[in-house]
């Protein structure tokens, strides 16, 4: 049975990562958190005080400390820069608020997209991000674009932050998510948009289980057809 490539795109806090991880586990697929890769590059930029004019230095650090993913004993995915565990550090608010400009740098995108494509070559992979279906995996057999209201996405992010011990203000989160949407959809390089052949699914008011069921049923049909 052929293993397919699944691309899940959408704006910030639309449930992409949560859903992708569950489906990957259910189908026995590899899950690649592309957002964590861009967050890692952002973490490097902020840690060293680099700006958009110092792309070469960010790439140099990425070469010295390559991004890798490991599984914790409880099955959770850990993100490393070299030997440094940055799993929690890349989810802090300063990284969240700066990832848009770093991910918009053409040189950064080119490097990370090439890494992502190499990993996906064999199939049996599910990726989530903002340009997976349009740029990274335009040949993916199944493309999903998740959307949800700003209010609901802010509520999800607020709950996630509480669980991780990250302080946040609900109204501020709403403003930040709306601003992130604008930046992501208006950037010159790989703007946020649904692929022409993507299935657009509004998750507002729908449980994680409901979203997983919808996508997994589509994936299983694709596998049967492959």
Binding site: what residues are annotated?
Answer: 10-18
Q: Which helix H or strand E contains 70, and what residues bound it?
A: strand 67-71
Element holding 160 (H helix, E strand): helix 150-164
DSSP summary character for residue 89? G
Phi and psi at 76, nearest 5°, equal -70, 150
Enumerate the known binding-site residues for ATP: 10-18
Tally of CA atoms within 13 A in the half-sphere of 51 that contains its CB: 1
Q: How far is CA 81 from CA 19, 29, 34, 171, 220, in A?
A: 25, 23, 14, 32, 35
Whole-angstrom distance, CA of residue 62 vs CA of residue 40: 9
Q: Strand pairing of 84-85 and 5-9?
A: unpaired
Which spans in 28-149 are helix H?
34-48, 55-64, 93-103, 106-120
The helix or strand, by DSSP H or E, that contains position 170, with its residue range, turns out to be helix 170-186
């Amino acid at each position: 049975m052929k293993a397919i490539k699944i691309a899940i795109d959408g704006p910030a806090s639309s449930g992409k990562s949560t859903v992708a991880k569950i489906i990957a586990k259910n189908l026995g697929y590899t899950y690649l958190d592309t957002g964590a890769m861009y967050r890692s590059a952002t973490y490097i930029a902020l840690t060293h005080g680099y700006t958009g004019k110092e792309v070469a230095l960010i790439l140099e650090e990425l070469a010295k400390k390559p991004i890798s993913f490991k599984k914790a004993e409880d099955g959770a995915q850990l993100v490393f820069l070299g030997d440094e565990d940055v799993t929690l550090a890349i989810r802090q608010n300063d990284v969240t608020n700066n990832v848009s400009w770093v991910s918009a740098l053409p040189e950064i995108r080119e490097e990370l997209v090439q890494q992502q494509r190499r990993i996906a070559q064999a199939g049996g992979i599910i990726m989530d991000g903002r340009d997976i279906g349009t740029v990274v995996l335009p040949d993916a057999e199944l493309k999903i674009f998740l959307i949800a209201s700003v209010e609901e996405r802010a509520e999800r992010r607020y709950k996630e932050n509480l669980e991780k011990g990250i302080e946040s203000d609900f109204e501020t989160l709403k403003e930040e998510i709306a601003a992130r949407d604008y930046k992501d959809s208006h950037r010159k390089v790989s703007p946020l948009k649904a692929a022409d052949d993507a299935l657009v699914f509004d998750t507002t008011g729908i449980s994680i289980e409901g979203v997983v069921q919808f996508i997994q049923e589509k994936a299983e049909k694709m596998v049967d057809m492959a």
